[in-house]
Amino acid sequence: MMINEETNVRQVVRVKSHVDGEEDDFGKQANCIKTNVESFESRRQSLKREDSETYDVTEKVMLLGDSGVGKTCLLVRFRDGLFLSGNFISTVGIDFRNKVVNVDQTRVKLQIWDTAGQERFRSVTHAYYRDAHALLLLYDVTNKTSFDNIRAWLGEIREYAQDDVVIMLLGNKADAGVERAVRREEGERLAREYNVAFMETSAKSGQNVDLAFLAIARELKYRQSGQKDENRFNVQEYIHEKLTQHDSKPQQCPPCNT
């Protein structure tokens, strides 16, 4: 069944209680509501434009992980090629963006759900797990707690998601130097233990961001086309092949000054 994205967009406008005599406050609130309505309208128009893009299949991908690991930044990097630096604005509830990608001759529309990592939104986000075809589970390589919490996230996934959901573990903020607190090998080991695909990404530099989403799109497309088991696409092998191709490219030497 086709889903009308517009019905999925919810705009919550909170109006603080109006106390007698605070006329100015009321004016500000009215302006704030007007701005919210205008931004909602522009979002609606952009969704209409996105929907008019042709595609063959739609796949739902969810971004999960602790607050601050970089889910929203990863999505924005993939969707718009930008990095959101500056003030960290935590996601409230859940939001989504679409992007159509080509997998061989098929146009795959990825509907990517960006969830809030904060504990208080868990009951809201659990409701969406069941519809997801793939889950990108992020931790922050500079934050050991976010890595330690991955086991708990995998427990939630087992409880709320479909049994055959595609899971990829991502160690984000791979651009971090001395701040790194989780080694790549630790991520690899955990992924092997749970039999899920793994790579490190950076929403800041763009490292592996497209690869993560494209590998997921490819896996889902091949699953949907019902390929026989022996020929099945293997997401981890695909990632490994792409990463080694990249590593074996000659490194660019910066121009010498002398």
- List residues binding ligand GTP (CB under 6 A): 67-73, 84-85, 88, 90-91, 116-118, 172-173, 175-176, 202-204
111 is a contact residue toward Mg ion (CB under 5 A) = no
Closest CB to ligand GTP among residues 32, 176: 176
Of the candidate residues 64, 72, 109, 214, the single one contacting Mg ion (CB under 5 A)? 72
Closest CB to Mg ion among residues 72, 208: 72
Q: Which residues, including other chains, have CB under 8 Å from residue 159's CB and lie 6 or more apart?
A: none
Among 91-99, 103-111, 135-143, 201-209, which window interacts with Mg ion (CB under 5 A)?
91-99
Closest CB to ligand GTP among residues 128, 233: 128
Closest CB to ligand GTP among residues 173, 221: 173
Q: Which does 202 bind (CB under 5 to 8 A by kind): ligand GTP, Mg ion, none?
A: ligand GTP
Closest CB to ligand GTP among residues 47, 73: 73
Q: Which does 68 bind (CB under 5 to 8 A by kind): Mg ion, ligand GTP, none?
A: ligand GTP
3-state helix/strand/coil string of the chain: CCCCHHHHCCCCCCCCCCCCCCHHHHHHHHHHHHHHHHHHHHHHHHHHHHHCCCCCEEEEEEEECCCCCCHHHHHHHHHHCCCCCCCCCCCCCEEEEEEEEEECCEEEEEEEEEECCCHHHHHHHHHHHCCCCEEEEEEECCCHHHHHCHHHHHHHHHHHCCCCCEEEEEEECCCCCCCCCCCHHHHHHHHHHHCCEEEECCCCCCCCHHHHHHHHHHHHHHHHCCCCHHHCCCHHHHHHHHHHHHHHCCCCCCCCCC
Closest CB to ligand GTP among residues 107, 180: 180
Number of residues near Mg ion (by CB under 5 A): 3
Instruction: Provide the minimum distance between the beta carbon of 59 and Mg ion in the complex, in angstroms, as a whole number.
Output: 21
Q: Which does 173 bind (CB under 5 to 8 A by kind): ligand GTP, Mg ion, none?
A: ligand GTP
